[in-house]
Structure 1
Amino acid sequence: MASESIKDRACTNIYRGLGQQLHDEDLCDLIVVVGEKEFSCHGVVLASVSEFFRASLKPCWREDSSRKVDITHEDVSPESFGYLLDILYRGKDVINSKTAKDILRMSVYLQIKFLEEYCVEFLQKSLQPTVCLETWHFAQRYDLDTLAEKAFKMAVDHICNVWQQDELLSLPKSMLLILLSLQQKLSMDDICKTILRWVEADQEKREVHLLELLPFVSFPLLSSDYLCELLDYLNHPFKEAMFENIREGLTFHLSNDATKKQRILARQPVYLCLNQIQTRIVMVGGYTKVDIPTTDNYVFDIQQSVMKLYRLQPLPKNVGLDFASCTWYNEVYVSGGSQLSEFFSVYKPGDNKWEVLPSLPDGGREKHAMAAVSTNIYVLGGLVKSSTGEKTTSSSVCRYNTRSKEWKIFCHLTSGVQEAAAAALGHRIYLFGGVSTTGEISDVVQCVDTMSGCTYQAGKLPSPTHGARALSNRGRIYVVTPKGELLSMWESFLLAENIEKKLSERKAKKESEDHSSEMARSTVSFKKVGNCTGRRDYSTCLHGGNIYVCGGVARDGQLLQTIEQIRLDDGAMLKTYLTLTAGAAKFDLHVLNVPMEFMKEDHLNQQSSMA
C-alpha cells in the first residue's frame, strides 16, 4: 500500500508542477501549431506518450533552439489538442459523449495508444442503438476493430430499429453488405426497401452496385402489395437490373402451375425453408477410392443428427479431379478438371439437371479457382496446357457472362498461381495463397477488382498455404487452411477503394501495367477464430452461422468421412459422420435450395458407388 501511496503522491505533484509550468510557459521548448493556434509545451512530455512526436522531435533533440511542429491533418483540431494538454498536464478526464470521437481520431493520428484505448473503452460502454451505425462507420474509418465489431453486432441485433435511420444511407457498400449478410430479422420487403433506399441516396455512384445487392432479395417472397409498388421501376433507370426479378416475383404470385413455381423458387439466392423446397448441402465430384474420380452428385441435410445422402443427377462427363466450382443464384457452375480441362456446365436444382455450356477458353484449366460476381463467372489462375502439351501456371482471369453466354479474357493476376482459394466480397474477388509459377507455396492475397479489371496484392496470409478453402457469406470471408486454422478476414475497404481508384486512373492513362502490386499497405488482415483437424483435399461450406469441414485426406493418408462443425460465434468444434459414405476427397460442397421431391428414398439408386 505504501508504494501505491507514494505513486499517487508523485503523480499528483507531477501534474501540479507540469500544469503550472504550462500555464506560466516555463521551460517550454516546443511550439505546436494546430490550424491557426499555437501551443507552447514540453517536447519530452509529448514524446513520452506519442510516437508521432517522438519521431518528429528525436532527430533535432540535441539542438539548442526551440522546436516547432506544424500539424495540418484534419484529424487534429485545436480543440482536441487542447484537450490532450488538459489530460497530460492536469490529469483531467475530458472524455465524454461530445468529445470522445474527436479525441480518439487525434489519438490515432498522433499514435497515443493509452488515450486511444481509453476512448475506445468509453465509446463501447456508452454505445446505444441510436448511434451504433455512426460509431461503426467511424470505427471502420480508423481501423478500430474491437469498436467496429461491437457496433456492427449491435446494429445487427437491433436491425429492426436501425434500418430506417438516415445514418444507414451514408454507409459504404462494404458495410451494408456485412449488415445484410448477418441480419435475420427483417422481412423480405424491408430488405428490398433498404437496398433501394441506399442505392437511390447516391444513385449516380451506387447504381452500379445494385446487382451485387439484389441476391439478398427473393422476389417471389415479397408481398403482392410491394411487388405492385415495384412495377414503377420498370420505367426507372434500375429497369435493366430489376426487370427479370420483378417478372419472376409476379409470375410466382399469379401462376397456378406448381412446377413453374417450384422452378422459380429453385433459382432464388436466399436460403429457403418451405414445404416443397428447402436448403440442403450438395456434394459434387471428387473420389472415394484413391485418385479414381466420380461423377456423382449428392444432397444431404447437414443439420440432421443422422445424415443420409440422396443421389442427384450426376455430372454429364467425367472431368477428373482438380475441377473448380461456384454458385450464382442457386445454380452450381463447374469448370475444368484433370481429364476435361475445357469442360463447363451448370447444375440447376429446380429440374435436377445439368446444362453443358460453352467450353473454357485459353486451353481450359485445372487446379484453378472460381467465383461469381454480378451475373458473371470468373475463372482464376490454375494450370493450362501449352501448344506443346506442357502444363504451365496461368495468371489469366477468364470471365463468363451468364446472360450472353460468352467467354472473354478479363485481366491478369499480379502473379500466376495454382491450387489457390477464391471468394467474392461485393465487386472484389480475393485469391488466397496457392503454388506460384516457381513452385513456391504462397502467402499472398491477390484482389481482382471486377469493376475496373485492375488487380493488386491485398495483403498476406499468416503463413503460406495451398489447397485452402475460402467461404463468403457476401459480407465476410473465412479461410480454412490445411493446417486446420479457421481465419476471419477483415477488409479495409476504404483503403481498397483508394488503391482501386489510383490503379484505374493509371490504367486509363496507360502509365503502367494495371495489375501492378506496388501498393505497400495491406487492405486485408486476418484473425484466427477456430480450429479443425488438419487435412488436405477437403471441402467446406458455410451455413447457419457454422462452417463445416468435410472429408479430405488425413496426415497418415487415410480418407476421412467426418464432418467437423465450427461455430463462428465462439469457435467451438463439433464432429459428426456421414452415414452412407466411406471417406471422400477433392469434392466440392455448395449450399443450395433443393426441391424435396429429389430427397426421397424411391428417388435413389441405393447401390450408390459411395455407399
Structure 2
Amino acid sequence: MALPMNPMDEPRLYQQTLLQDGLYDLLENDKLVDCVLKIKDKEFPCHRLVLCACSSYFRSIFLSDLEESKKREIVLEDVEPGVMGLILKYLYTSKINVTEQNVQDIFAVANMYQIPSIFTVCVSFLQKRLSLSNCLAVFRLGLMLDCPRLAISARNYACERFQLISRDEDFLQLLPSELAAILSNDNLNVETEEEVFEALMNWVSRDKENREKELPGLLDCIRLRLVSEDYLKEKVEKHKLISSNPEMQQKLQLVKDAHAGKMPEVKKSKSKEEEDGGAENDGESKDKDEEGLLPSILNDNLRFGMFVRDLILMVNDAGAVAYDPSGNDCFLASLSTQIPKNHTSLVTKENQIFVAGGLFFDEQNKEDPLCSYFLQYDPVSADWLGMPPLPSPRFLFGMAEAENSIFVLGGKELKEQEHMMDSVLIYDRHSFKWGESEPIPYPVYGHATVSHNDTVYVIGGKGDNNCLRKMCAYDAKRFEWKELAPMKHARSLFGATVHKDKIYVAGGVTDSGLTDSVEAYDIATSKWSDFVPFPQERSSLSLVSLAGSLYAVGGFAMIMQHIRCHNPATVQQAFHSGDNYL
C-alpha cells in the first residue's frame, strides 16, 4: 500500500509533471528548439534551457563567452548515439531503461557531462544488483568515476564474501591500491588472518615480476599479530619473497617483538613552539608532544569474521535452523524454497556450505538438460546462491572436498532405471566448472564420505542389494584409490565425521534392520574399534564434530506409541525428545 502524499507536496508534483510534459511536447513537435547535439551521424534536437538545468557541463558552455556558446550545433565526442538518446529521453520524461548491459556506458556519460540525476539512478541500479560475479568490477568502476558511495558499497559486499571473492579472477587482477583498500578493511569476513596473508601471496604470484615490489607496502595490510607464532615463523618469515627482503624482515621483527611483549617506542613530534625555542618555563620546556601511531604492521584489531560462534546448521527444503551448542539454543537462519527435498550437504574447511541434489532442467544444456541443483549458502544475505548445476542427476550420493575441489561420489541415477553409480564428479572452485575424476573402485549408494588432509574416504553403503563393510580412500594429490581396513559392521545410510583424527560412524541400516552401533577408525594406525553405542537405533543421522564435541542430529528411528497411555500432545513431545537426543 502506497504512503499517502503530503498535501504540501501535491502542488509541487503537479507543476513538475506539467512542466516536464510540456517540455517533451515541445521537443516532439520541434517547437522552440534552439540546439542540436551531433554525435557521429546522428542529430538530437533539444533545448538549451533543459540542458543547462540538468547538466553543469552544458551550463558552463552555454553561459560562457566561448564561441561554442553561440553555435546551434554542438558536436560531442567519445559517446555513443544510443546512450545519449537514452539520457536525453530521461531529461525530458524521467524514464530510462537501465540494464546490466548499458549501465556502465550510461554511468560514464552521466559522469562526463555532469548529470547528477542519472548518476544517482545508475548508482542505485548497481547497488541493488551487486553479486559475486560483478562486485569487484563495480568497486573498480566506483573508484574510476570517483563515486565513493558506489565504491564503498561494492567493497563492503566483497569484504563480507572475501573467502569466495579471493579465488575469483577479478581479485587477481586488482591494482595494488585497490587490493590494499580491501585487505586493510575491518569488515573482512575471515576467521583467521592466515587467509588474508595467503590471498595476498596468491595475488603477488600471479605476476611476480611486476608485483614483488608492491609486497612491502601491501604487507602492512596484513595483521600479522593475529597469526600464530608458528605460522609467522614457518609460512611468513620463510617465504622466499619475504626472507630475501631486508625491509620486510625488519617489519617481521617488530611483529615478533610484539608477540614477546616488546612494543617499539613511538616517536613524538615536537610542537612548533619548542622547535622555535619559545616554549620555556623557568628554564624548563613544557611537554607539548603529541603521541604518534604504531607502525601499521602492528595493527591487531580483529576482523569482522573473527567474532564468530560455533553453530550447527540444519537444512531442509523449507529453510535452515542454526543450533548454538554453547547456549543450547536454536534460531532461524534462512527461509527458502530453493533447497531440493532430496539433497546432500557439505561444509568445507573454510566453513562454506554447499547443497546438491534434486532435479533441475538446464535449458542451456541442449545435449543433456537434466541436472541436479548445486547451491551455496550466503550467510550475509541468509539466502542460497545458485552455482553451476550438477551435470549428472543422482541421489543417495556422497560429497567431500580435497585440493580446493568438491567431489560428488557414487549414488543412484535419478532416472527410471536407478542404476548404481561408481562415477565421481569434481567441481573446481577456481574455474567454477564441473569435470570427472577417477571412479570409485565399485558402484555404491547410501554410503558415507568424509575428507581429511586432502584424502577422500568412501565408507560402507549398499551394493548389489547388500550392505557393505568396505572402505576406500582417494588421494587427490596422486589421483589414485586404495582399499583400507573394512568396518566391523556392514551398514548404509549412517552418519560419519572426522573427530580428533579419527573417523566415527554411527547408526544406519544393516541387512537385518536399524542399528545403534558406533565405530571409530584411527587414521594413523588404519584400525577400527568399537565405540559407545548410540542411545537409539537410528538411520540417516548426521554426525558433526564441533568445538571438541561430537553431535548427532536428525535421522529416522522406530518410536513406540501407546495411544491408550498417552494423549496426542504427549506422544508428539516424546517423539521430539527422542529425535533431538544429543
Higher relative contact order at CA 8 Å, sep ≥6: structure 1 or structure 2? 1
TM-based fold match above 0.5: no
TM-score w.r.t. length of structure 1: 0.38
TM-score w.r.t. length of structure 2: 0.40
